Amino acid sequence: MPWRALTLQVAAGAAEAMSEALLEAGAESVSIDKPDQPSATLCALVDLQLDPDTCLRAAARSAGLAGAPPYTTAEIADEDWVRSTQAQFAAVEIGERLWIGPSWREPPVDRVAVRLDPGLAFGTGTHPTTQLVLRFLESRITGGEGVLDYGCGSGILAIAAAKLGAARVDGVDVDPQALATARDNARANGVELQPTLPEGLRGGAYEIVVSNILAQPLILLAPVLAARTERGGTLALAGILVSQAEEVGAAYAPWLDMRIDSVLDGWALLAGRRR
């Protein structure tokens, strides 16, 4: 059957949120091209019966954009969409060990593979904040660690931690759709993961805690995340612009000395050891 493809551009930092919002507004699939550039191109596949203006307005509101961006449309056959969509999702190599890619691509034999197809929840390995945390995990996990991913989204960070050798991995998110997606992705990767709402998280602290959200929620969560990091353990935070790093770090000062560990495309990863 034929489909309508909507092509639009948004700021790269808003690409993942707009992609998720388009899916919630009725799109069958969304691809993101050039996510590492200042402006990312989104291609959304919608049913011919769906009104593009209504879909885009609803998605823009949900993603927090000031207004619906301009777009172009084209009618395409189903098989052409599949080929063009798959071609746009390149795999990502992280550090010396990790490979993140969709199910239709083959990983190198010498890398730990995490297969993750584009879906409803944030995190396919392309956004700078996700890459920052993946790099951190790839360099820190040596085997046997306990890891908590707070705000797990698609589950990419928790799955990567498990496949890198962490012994105990938990995920938390406030979005039930994200929890379902994380469970499905973990199952597809052969990883034991039962992500939960915050109130369902089992007790105890972790050697490594990571959270890739946004600056203001991270500030509010400081007591919670610090308490979940065992003494001598490491906390890593992402979703923070370099200009926000000092304010976020100050919120954690009673428990940790947070420092900028790495920077990518204007985004910072803060890390510190629990006192």
Determine the Cα–Cα distance for residues 261 and 272; give it in Å rounded to an integer: 9
The position carrying tokens 């388009």 is 22
pLDDT in tens, 25-39: 888 778 777 655 678
pLDDT at 83 over 80: no
Check residue 177 and give its pLDDT: 83
pLDDT in tens, 222-233: 999 999 999 999
Q: Which CATH superfamily is domain 92-273 in?
A: Vaccinia Virus protein VP39 (3.40.50.150)
Q: Which CATH superfamily is domain 2-87 in?
A: BMC (bacterial microcompartment) domain (3.30.70.1710)
CA distances 77 to 3, 52, 87, Å, are: 6, 18, 16
The ranges assigned to domains in the chain are 2-87, 92-273
pTM for this one? 0.71
User: CB-based contacts of 98: which residues, under 8 Å, 6+ apart?
Assistant: 111, 112, 114, 134, 137, 138, 160, 164
- CA 153 to centroid of chain Cα atoms: 6
The position carrying tokens 């489909």 is 3
pLDDT at 152 over 90: yes
Q: What are phi and psi of 231, to 5 degrees?
A: -60, 130
pLDDT in tens, 37-80: 678 888 888 888 899 999 999 999 988 898 899 999 987 765 54
The mean of the pLDDT values for the chain is 87
Q: What are phi and psi of 108, to 5 degrees?
A: -65, 150
Tokens standing for residue 215? 């600056």
